[in-house]
Amino acid sequence: MKTILLLLLSVVALQAADKKPKAMRTKGEVLFADEFKSDKLDEKWIFPKGEEAAKFEITDGALVLDQAGAKGAVIWRNFETPVQDASVQLLVKPWACSWIAFGFYGPGERPGAQRKINIAVTKNGAVAVRDIEKQDSLKAANTKIPAEEWQRVCFESKGDKITVQVNDRVVLEYKTELTTGEKAGLLLNLYGGKGSVDEIEVKVLK
């Protein structure tokens, strides 16, 4: 009886980890979306390659970021033309890493160097707006969502205002000039192991 109970609890825990929160209704025109349904990663995603580079693979219909031999995992995708105001909604699961972060970057030859802020989701359930240059947290909230569970996060950058929603609930609002200006693409990065993202949708805001 004890063995059966333990097996049932394990199945329930696994189902909870695989359950994906429903998509949030957000305004704007879709700039691009990727649900990672193909066996291969879309070639529009760009990342460093080499023996000591991070690895990016589609597993069970989601993108797995693996730091591997690199100092971190970084992957990005350019927009066809830069935009001013935009939002990104995606599923995040930092199941075996310190954090997963994402944000927009400005025009330039080095996307990683053209970022001013990003949104970080940690394995401890924290969501934070971070200043890239100062490597400082501008504002943070604790969702208390376990690292092995999916959470749907939406980051909206409009003018100087930032709004972050998690599972259809606003958890952060912040004003800063760091979020203004042209946005040329979306960059994802991970540190400290492996994590997953899925159902990325970027919209242009009016």
With CA atoms as reference, report the closest residue to 111 among 153, 82, 152, 69.
82
115: DSSP letter: B
What's the average pLDDT block by block, 10 residues per block, for the chain (206 residues)?
Answer: 44 58 95 96 96 95 97 97 98 98 96 96 97 96 97 98 98 98 98 98 96
Return the pLDDT at 101. 98
pLDDT at residue 20 in the model: 96
Question: Residue 51: its pLDDT value, please?
Answer: 86
Domains of the chain: 2-204 (2.60.120.560)
| pLDDT reported for residue 18 | 79
Strand ranges (E), the chain: 29-34, 45-46, 55-59, 62-66, 73-83, 86-96, 99-105, 117-122, 126-131, 136-142, 151-158, 161-166, 169-175, 183-191, 194-204
Question: CA-CA distances (angstroms) from residue 120 to 94, 131, 164, 196, 198?
Answer: 10, 11, 11, 13, 16
